Amino acid sequence: MSLFAERLVRYDDLIPCKNAFIDTRSPGSDQKENFTIIGPGVAENPNQHVHISIPHGFNIGGARQPAGCLNSQHSHLTEEIFVVHSGTWAFYTGVDGKDAKVILNEGDIISIPLDIFRGFENVGNGIGYLYAVLGSDDPGRVLWAPQVFDMAKEFGLILLENGSLVDTTLNEKAPDGVSPMAVTSSEQIAQHRIITDEELAQTVVRASDFNWNKHSYLSQFECVYEAPLVGNLNANTPIQTQLNWPHGFNISALKLQPNAKIAKHIRFEEEVIFVHQGSLTIDLGDEVLTLTQGDTFSVPIEHSRAFSNEAKNDCIVYITRRNDSPKDPQFT
């Protein structure tokens, strides 16, 4: 068994939950698969499988949905980032989903602030997959739009005040002393912003607009480029994008062209690597791993790592690190 098995999640080995949330029986939302890859996420089903339980300072999850499948309007207590791994996705804001809309394609990234109701739908032709990052080890609970409670009750699901679901079609009952969660009030709705299409577009960075540059520590190597997406690349490399408000984590895209190599180095935060395109070989000293599209790996703090692209096509990975400005790497 791999020495790093507890930190490696292959896309093909993802374990989905098909009834993670209150809207999972609502027509148009009943075919989605939710994944908690790192941390507990915000799933309302206690049986949701957590692939990596090690605290990172953020949570990582995924959503896989067929065409036409919708996630109902909701908001979060922490920042929420989505990377489109596959498919075409529409994001809607507002309590009824009618305030603003933006379409994202493969490789695009969106950061939705916490005071905005949002929902999203696979508007492509096939199965689509979203890779998601939520701020904090405990991102709290989902706040659903009022109409979601009505739809859920119609299909036998009741959300309790402790954040768990009761499925009345399975003869489940709420524990003694636990009441249903109150339907979201007009006062709670009023605490959220109403934004325009133009303002929503400012929360998106298109893959075609990535600032691939040679000014980061990793991109000093030949045929390697890094693009800042959320926060600073490093503490002493303040290259920002428009997604520069505090998130509590940092995200960049790293591109390795064929035969590119990055020398051994250590990091002082967990470094979570998600392969969007191609394959990445990671030399961990004790073991060499090759990650392919959709795979996720979390490199331990201060553990030596070296990267290379041994394939014939470009490799593009998204990297998430703790803190808005992670510490500079130390090359060994």
Domains of the chain and any CATH numbers: 5-205 (2.60.120.10), 210-331 (2.60.120.10)
- pLDDT above 90 covers what percent of the chain? 64
pLDDT tens by residue, 271-282: 999 999 999 999
> Model confidence at 74, in pLDDT bands (50, 70, 90)?
very high
Half-sphere exposure of 105 (CA within 13 A, CB side): 4
Structure tokens at 149: 């409670």
Q: Which whole number is the average pLDDT over 255-282?
A: 97
- pLDDT for 25 beyond 80: no
For residue 252, pLDDT over 90 is answered with yes
Q: 201 or 150, which is more confident? A: 201
- E-assigned strand segments in 29-99: 33-38, 50-52, 58-65, 70-75, 80-86, 89-93
Average pLDDT over every residue of 229-242? 74
- Res 60: pLDDT: 97
How sure is the predictor about 238, in pLDDT bands with cuts at 50, 70 and 90?
low
Cα–Cα distance measured from residue 315 to residue 307, given in angstroms and rounded to the nearest whole number:
11
**Which one is predicted more confidently, 127 or 177?**
127
- In this predicted model, which residue has the larger pLDDT, 244 or 106? 106
- Range with lowest mean pLDDT among 2-11, 169-178, 203-212: 169-178
323: phi > 0 → left, psi -120 to 50 → alpha, else beta; which? left
| Cα gap 97→21, rounded to integer Å | 18
Whether the pLDDT of residue 155 is over 80: the answer is no
pLDDT of residue 29: 64
- Average pLDDT of every residue of the chain: 90
Q: Please tell me the least confidently modeled range out of 228-242, 247-261, 263-277, 318-332.
A: 228-242
Looking at residue 280, its pLDDT comes to 98
Q: What is the pLDDT of residue 253?
A: 96
Beta bridge partners of residue 319, listed in sequence order: 252, 273
Neighbours of 96 (CB within 10 A): 13
Residue 151's pLDDT is: 77
pLDDT band at 137 (very low <50, low <70, confident <90, very high): very high
| pLDDT, average across residues 14-30 | 71
> Order of strands across the sheet with 280-283?
288-291, 280-283, 305-308, 261-266, 330-331
pLDDT band at 235 (very low <50, low <70, confident <90, very high): low
